[in-house]
Structure 1
Amino acid sequence: MSQVNIRMATLDDAEALHALMHRAFTPLRAVGIDWPSVNATLEMIQDNIQNNAAYVLEVEGKIVSTLSIRFPWEPSQPVSKYPFVWWFATDPDYGGVGYGNQMMTYVEETILRDTLKAPAVVLGTSARKMSWLKDVYERRGYETFFSFEDETGDEGAMMVKVLIPERYNKDLLAPPPWAQGESSY
């Protein structure tokens, strides 16, 4: 059995994360998806580590998965009034083993639900060019609350997963600040 460790990323991890994300997001670049994570520079990754809650999953000391959380209190325009999961990637060499699922479950349950008592979590994904991504999140319990067409012809989907039903308030969901009023609630 492999030794698995999940921890906060440090600046010392930036180069390894840059290489991992480049490999993991190659299929998205190939279809023209231009999210910050898909084309992240080393400087962007360093900024993400410093300003967000960036986690890594290590197997035998090697980083094989990463996921970051943006919070509603961030100084720039927050994406959501609930925590926002982004920059989720797993090394393609470790695909299908379950490490991405393990990382997502840890962040959703241990960090967001049990530690921070967050009633829900939000993420954004491709619903057309990489529609399988939306299917993955739906199987994890996420539901689309907002969709939009982007300038590349892709359909973006903002999705929410309720973590603590008795504390969840649907009225806190809104289109992200950059969406300019488009809605498909």
Structure 2
Amino acid sequence: MQFKKIENTDVAEQLTPLLHRAYAADVKLGIHFAASSVTVEDVRKHIESTPTFVLEDDDGTIIATTSVRLPWSDNPGPFGLPHLGWVATNPDYQQQGFSKEIINWVVTNYVQSALHTPAVTIGTAADHPWLLSFYQSLGFKVIDITQKPNGPRAAYLISIFDEHRTSLIDDAYLKKALSRQTLSVQSLRD
């Protein structure tokens, strides 16, 4: 198996159905993440504008994927920090820890090493039955829960590597969310 950054949009043909299959369980729960219905063209555009990573099996089959939305891109995350998105595991490989592996690899080998950022964020549906606790098990902490227009309540989580440098980021939403970080998840949900 190998981790790699996607450099060619041709992989969109393989990545699109993986995203649809991986997010199908969420759709059954009534949670519709954008990745659940993307087109091949959407995935090509995403790869061109957003660093996208995969974990491949020895035969080139994509096992897991995630991407990193950059604060200075056309599709930034909610805060002035890199934001993980499109976290998905091929259903044929689920329940084996591959989402954890790709998240940890991307955070260590790209977000921290290449971007030298003091923190990274990730989001999920606040009422998802397992994703919030999964991200928390990876060291992410809930910093905000907000109602999305025409969508589910979103939970935003952060993993901070350098608290001082994170506090210096000039982003009003981040500063407000961090000031409330001491609130419990339950109080954020209320």
Which TM-score bucket, shorter chain as reference? Answer: 0.7 to 0.9
Question: Among 4, 7, 12, which residue is 1:7 paired with?
Answer: 4
CA 1:131–1:139: 2 relative to 1, 3 Å:
same
Segments of 5+ residues of structure 1 without an aligned counterpart are 177-183
CA contact (8 A) 1:52 1:70 kept: yes
CA 1:93–1:172: 2 relative to 1, 3 Å:
farther
Q: Equivalent residues in 2 for 1:1-185 (5 A)?
A: 4-9=1-6, 10-60=8-58, 61-76=60-75, 78-128=77-127, 130-150=128-148, 154-169=152-167, 172=170, 174-175=172-173, 184=188
Task: Name the SS for the 2:81 alignment partner.
Answer: coil
TM-score normalised to the size of structure 1?
A: 0.85
Per mean C-alpha deviation after superposition, the further-off stretch among 53-62 and 167-176 is 167-176
Once the two structures are TM-superposed, the CA of residue 51 in structure 1 deviates from its matched residue by: 0.4
CA 1:42–1:173: 2 relative to 1, 3 Å:
same
Q: What is the letter of the counterpart of residue 84 of structure 1?
A: H
Q: What is the letter of the counterpart of residue 33 of structure 2?
A: W
The count of aligned residue pairs is 174
Once the two structures are TM-superposed, the CA of residue 116 in structure 1 deviates from its matched residue by: 1.5
CA contact (8 A) 2:80 2:169 kept: no
Q: What is the letter of the counterpart of residue 117 of structure 1?
A: H
Once the two structures are TM-superposed, the CA of residue 18 in structure 1 deviates from its matched residue by: 0.5
CA distance in 2, matches of 1:172, 1:89: 31
Once the two structures are TM-superposed, the CA of residue 78 in structure 1 deviates from its matched residue by: 4.8
Q: What is the letter of the counterpart of residue 86 of structure 2?
A: W
**Aligned-residue CA RMSD (Å):** 2.2
Q: What is the letter of the counterpart of residue 22 of structure 1?
A: H
CA 1:71–1:153: 2 relative to 1, 3 Å:
closer
Segments of 5+ residues of structure 2 without an aligned counterpart are 175-187
Task: Name the SS for the 1:32 alignment partner.
Answer: coil
TM-score normalised to the size of structure 2?
A: 0.82
